[in-house]
Every structure is written in C-alpha cells, then in structure tokens.
Amino acid sequence: MKKFILPIIIIIGGTLLLWFGFSKQNQLPKSSSISQEPIKIGVFVYPGFGTFYIAKEKDLFKKHGVNVELVQVSADNWLPAVESNKIQMVTFTSDVMPILADIGVAAKQIFTTSFSYGADGLGVTNEIQKISDLKGKKVHVTLGFPGHFFFRYLANKSGLSYGDVELINLNPEEVGSSFVASKINAGVTYEPWLSKAKERIDGKVLVTSRQEPEIITDIIVARNDLIANRREDIKNVMRAFFEALDWWEGNTTEGNAIVAKNFKLTPEEFKPMRDTVKLSNLKINLEKFDKQKPLNVYELVEKAGEIYFQDGVIKTKASSDAVTDSSLLNELR
C-alpha cells in the first residue's frame, strides 16, 4: 500500500478506506443470479495464464456472478475464433494489438495477467557475444508474435536498424527444435524449447526476458461489443481473476497442481515453467496501464506498431488509445 506524507489521522483514515474498498471488491457475496450466456475466454497453454484455471476450479467466477467457459487456443486457431465471436476474450501479449486493429478486429486490451520473466529468449551460436554481432545474419522468429517483437525491441536498443538483420519466419516450436538440432544458428523461442537450447554444444541462450523483463507483457483482450454490452460481467471476471491470483501466491503447490492438470503436465514439469513469469496483481495492473510508468502497455503498443509496420506485418498503425481500455481497471480501484 502506498505511503503518503500526510497527518497520521489522514493516513489511518485513507488506509481503512482503501482496505474496505479492496475487500469489498474481492469478497462479493455469491450472486443469486448468474448470467446464463457464458463469456468464452481463449487461453493459451502458458504459465502466466494459469490463473484462469484456478479461478474456475475454486468457483470464483461463480462466486462473483459470472458464467465463464475457458477454451484452450493455439497459434493456429485463436485469431479466427476471436473474429467469428466464438471466443469473446483471449489471452495474448500487448504487441498483438496493432495487428488486431490492422485486420479490423474491434477489441481492446483491458488488463494484464503477467509478464515474461525468462519464458522467452534468443538462442545463438557461440561466436555471437552480443546482439549487435547479429548484423548481416539471419534470425528466425515467428512474425507478428511476441518473439518477433522482443528481438526487434532489443535489436533496435542495440543499434541495429531494420535492414541489418534478415528475419526468417518460422513457428516458435520449430525455431526451438531447429536450433537444438543445429539446423539454424539464431532464433527466438520460448519454454520448454529455451531450456533445451542450452543443450546445444556450439550454442547458447544469449538473452532472455529475465534480463529484459516486461517487454513481453501478457494481457487479456476483449471484443468491443463485449465491453459495451457486458461491462459488469467483465469486471466480475477480473475480480475472480485477481482473487485467484492472490490465492495462488499463497498456495503455490496446490495452485501449480491445478494449472499443471489443465495443461496436461505433471506438477514437477510445470514448476520450473511457473518460475519464468511474474504474475500481475491489481496494483501492478494499475501501473502497467499508467502512461507515466516505464514500459506501460500504451508504450508497448506504439513500439510494436512501429516494428510490425517496418517489417511488413501490418499496413496501418493504430494509436495505443484506440486499442486500450483502462477504465475497467480504474473502476476496480
């Protein structure tokens, strides 16, 4: 809780008021009537999105009076599902918003679930000592995906221009498997392939999102028509999510087991994956949606728009304000 330099009586009064508001938000009585039409949320198999399964298993969506159906999605099917309204919300990363706007999907990022903290990284051969050493070389990424954004962000930061590196489009799993098999010499992938990349004798992981955190920020995207028509239901989804996240932080072993089961993994397999993300509670969310804070979601969208435009992924650049809605979070304060 923030400390303010104020007279002690104001501090105490303000503290009680904030605590009461937060407790009321997260301890709503069970609703006597739950919306019958489910909100379908597309969830990738990724540790930062596991909180949704905890909310489902612990009946927190029900507690907060909203009907939710979780649908596992993949790189191949998530976009058509959002476009056709088969899912109304989906997990992804901030950098996807310029792509959605460019193809005409009316949706906004409304809160963050987590950010990558070692789950994504760049594998290279041993002669590459720093990112600028990749000048004139080929780097394999999945165009329009977080690894693409992550690499270009760091490459630009290292002084490489767009023409200095040739990007080769490849599925992230293929990037990982091809790097391990010595078929490619540089590429961005994610766990578990990132750990396997370390097994390559003449290769290594040069940089991961642990050294460069919050560039890959995991978000929830909601269709605009859902925001317009079911605003209170969305806020109840968010209340359930944040309550589940707080519970997971205090019950790590049981929470890991719930998520591992839904990801068809053993708890032992999932535990190291869980350590590659940092979960975003309400406080962190309010900071990430604050334009005055570094690496906020508005800044990430603007940067992604520039990168994807330069690399030909999108033809137009949307403003970050057009694809971001912070009002739902602010109403949960």
173-193 pLDDT, tens per residue? Answer: 899 999 999 999 999 998 778
Return the pLDDT at 29.
Answer: 40
What residues pair up with 109 in beta bridges, in sequence order?
Answer: 221, 324
* Structural Rg of the chain based on CA atoms: 21
Verify that 126 and 229 share a domain, yes or no: no
5 assigned to some structural domain: no
291-317 pLDDT, tens per residue? Answer: 999 999 999 999 999 999 999 999 999
Return the pLDDT at 333.
Answer: 83
pLDDT band at 72 (very low <50, low <70, confident <90, very high): very high
Return the pLDDT at 6.
Answer: 38
Q: Flag whether pLDDT at 62 surpasses 90.
A: yes
Q: How many domains does the chain have?
A: 2
Spatial contact of 89 and 222, defined as CB atoms under 8 Å apart: yes
Verify that 107 and 234 share a domain, yes or no: yes
Distance, CA of 288 to CA of 122 (rounded, Å): 25
Count CA atoms closer than 13 A to 147's CA, side-chain side: 30
Q: Flag whether pLDDT at 332 surpasses 80.
A: yes
Return the pLDDT at 197.
Answer: 86
Return the pLDDT at 10.
Answer: 35
Verify that 105 and 227 share a domain, yes or no: yes
CATH code at position 309: 3.40.190.10
Return the pLDDT at 76.
Answer: 83
The mean pLDDT of 109-119, rounded to a whole number, is: 96
Which of 170, 192, 208 marks a domain boundary?
208
298 assigned to some structural domain: yes
Verify that 240 and 202 share a domain, yes or no: no
Calculate the average pLDDT of the chain: 89
Return the pLDDT at 33.
Answer: 53
Cis peptide before 272 (omega within 30 of 0): no
The mean pLDDT of 147-159, rounded to a whole number, is: 96
194 assigned to some structural domain: yes
78 assigned to some structural domain: yes
Verify that 236 and 261 share a domain, yes or no: yes
315 assigned to some structural domain: yes
15 assigned to some structural domain: no
Distance, CA of 65 to CA of 324 (rounded, Å): 25
Q: Flag whether pLDDT at 28 surpasses 70.
A: no
Domain of residue 142 covers 120-208
297 assigned to some structural domain: yes
Q: Flag whether pLDDT at 134 surpasses 80.
A: yes
Verify that 97 and 197 share a domain, yes or no: no
Verify that 240 and 294 share a domain, yes or no: yes
Exposure string of 99-131, with b = 16+ CB inside 10 Å and e = fewer, is bbbbeebebbbbbbbbbbbbbbbbbbbeebeeb
Return the pLDDT at 9.
Answer: 34
242 assigned to some structural domain: yes
Which of 158, 177, 208 marks a domain boundary?
208
The mean pLDDT of 103-124, rounded to a whole number, is: 96
Return the pLDDT at 3.
Answer: 38
Return the pLDDT at 100.
Answer: 97
Share of the chain above pLDDT 90, in %: 82
Return the pLDDT at 34.
Answer: 67
Verify that 244 and 326 share a domain, yes or no: yes
74-98 pLDDT, tens per residue? Answer: 888 999 999 999 999 999 999 999 9
Verify that 48 and 174 share a domain, yes or no: no
Verify that 146 and 244 share a domain, yes or no: no
Return the pLDDT at 216.
Answer: 96
Which of 150, 178, 208 marks a domain boundary?
208
- Region for residue 125 given its phi and psi (left: phi exceeds 0; alpha: psi -120 to 50; beta: otherwise): beta
Verify that 148 and 257 share a domain, yes or no: no
pLDDT band at 35 (very low <50, low <70, confident <90, very high): low
Verify that 183 and 254 share a domain, yes or no: no
Q: 66 is written with which tokens?
A: 């909203």
